[in-house]
Amino acid sequence: GESVGLHLPTLSVQEGDNSIINCAYSNSASDYFIWYKQESGKGPQFIIDIRSNMDKRQGQRVTVLLNKTVKHLSLQIAATQPGDSAVYFCAENMGDYKLSFGAGTTVTVRA
Amino acid sequence: SQTIHQWPATLVQPVGSPLSLECTVEGTSNPNLYWYRQAAGRGLQLLFYSVGIGQISSEVPQNLSASRPQDRQFILSSKKLLLSDSGFYLCAWSVQNYGYTFGSGTRLTVV
């Protein structure tokens, strides 16, 4: 079964505001995490990743935070734009070459 | 640069017919290859993965099989499709268990 789950299935955010998407994972031995963005009818697109030896990693308008103590992962999107509307998945490296995905959070950006 | 090709983009097949979906990767050697299935509005379920030519690991019992005849080619097959095989099928690759990249997906409808 899936060991990575998301706290909220949907998120509505005003254009220009910051978005925060949360994810809980259960495998304390996981050492690598990825956030993906999936638009309707397309494959998941890599956004940002983080290894377990880090707490924070920043990309262009995105930041991933990892709290290993409570096994929590979050994705922050700065100045959310209409093009950010999509389903966001967190994924956890379970070892043995496999990723486990959560069910996804649907982000809708309001104009 | 590395690219992944997956085809066809959409497919409608009758129940009981065979299936063959193909995925190829360019620009890398000895990648790990994966087949995922995604039901509508759901997360990604790992079906098969391969760490080398002829090496296939199955994650869930099902009506499907996978083969890897060449280093950068991964094929998903079925001898007789079921209605429950409908879904969005995604191929992915990784190197050294990091940086999973997905193809554009195949929407399969079994009628």
DSSP code for A60: S
Q: What is the mean pLDDT of residues B11-36?
A: 95
Judged by CB atoms closer than 8 Å, whether chains meet at B49 and A103 is answered as no
Is the pLDDT score of B12 beyond 90? yes
Closest Cα partner for A87 from A50, A36, A23?
A36
A6, A92, A99, A100, best to mutate vs chain B, most B CBs in 10 Å: A99
Nearest-neighbour CA in chain A from B107: distance (Å)? 8
Closest Cα partner for B32 from B81, B101, B84, B109?
B101
- Which range among A25-29, A54-58, A94-98, B99-103 shows the weakest confidence by mean pLDDT? A94-98
Q: What's the mean per-residue pLDDT of chain A?
A: 89
DSSP chain B: --EEEEE-SEEEE-TT--EEEEEEEES-SS-EEEEEEE-TTS-EEEEEEEEETTEEEESS--S-EEEEEETTEEEEEESS--GGG-EEEEEEEEETTEEEEE---EEEEE-
The rounded percent of chain A whose pLDDT value lies above 90 is: 70
Nearest-neighbour CA in chain A from B79: distance (Å)? 25
Is the pLDDT score of A6 beyond 80? no
pLDDT of residue A22: 93
A-B CB pairs within 8 A amount to 48
The answer to whether B90 faces chain A, any CB pair under 8 Å, is yes
Contact A22, A6 (CB under 8 A): yes
Q: State whether residue A84 is helix, strand or coil.
A: helix
Q: Which residue of A has its CA nearest to B10?
A: A41
Contact A90, A4 (CB under 8 A): yes
Give B-chain residues touching A98 at CB under 8 angstroms: 46, 49, 59
Q: How many CB atoms lie within 10 A of CB A91?
A: 27
Q: Which residue of A has its CA nearest to B34?
A: A98
A37, A97, A101, A105, best to mutate vs chain B, most B CBs in 10 Å: A97
pLDDT tier, A3 (very low <50, low <70, confident <90, very high otherwise): very low
